[in-house]
Amino acid sequence: MEYEPLCPKFESAFELLGKRWTGLIIRALLSGPKRFKDISGMIPNMSDRMLAERFKELESAGLLVRHVYPETPVRIEYELTQKGRDLEAALNEVQRWADTWMTKAAVQRD
C-alpha cells in the first residue's frame, strides 16, 4: 500500500494550523513584521487575549519570533521565521480551495 499508515508530522501540522485564527495570523505576517495592534486590527473578531495565546503557540512552535526594541515607548514586533514563511504555498492552496468551494451557506453553517 502506498499510503503511510500514520503520519504524525502531517497530523501535527494540521492540528497547529487548524486552530482558530492561526491561518489568518500567519497570512497577515507574510507581508512582513507587525505589531500586536496591526494584527488585531486585521482580524476584528479575535480577542486580544486569543491573539496573545496564538502568538505564544506560534513562537513555541518556531513559526515566529518576537522582537523587542528598547525605545520609548518600547516597540514589540512579531516576525515569521523561515519555517513560518515556508507555509505561504500551503496557505495559498487552502485559500484557493476555499474561494472555489466554500459557499456563503457553508461558511454560515459552521
Q: Which residues bind a copy of itself (CB under 8 A)?
A: 1-3, 5-24, 27-28, 31, 41-45, 61-62, 83, 86-87, 89-90, 93-102, 106-107, 110
Q: Please name which of 31, 57, 36 lies closest in space to residue 46, comparing C-alpha atoms.
A: 36
> Which cell goes with 10?
502531517
Closest distance of CB 11 from a copy of itself, Å: 6
CB of 70 vs a copy of itself, minimal distance in Å: 28
**Amino acid making up residue 60:** S
Give φ, ψ of 47 to 5 degrees.
-75, 155
- The label of the residue with cell 480577542 reads 47
**For a copy of itself, the closer CB: 46 or 74:** 46
* Cβ proximity to a copy of itself, 2 vs 74, nearer residue: 2
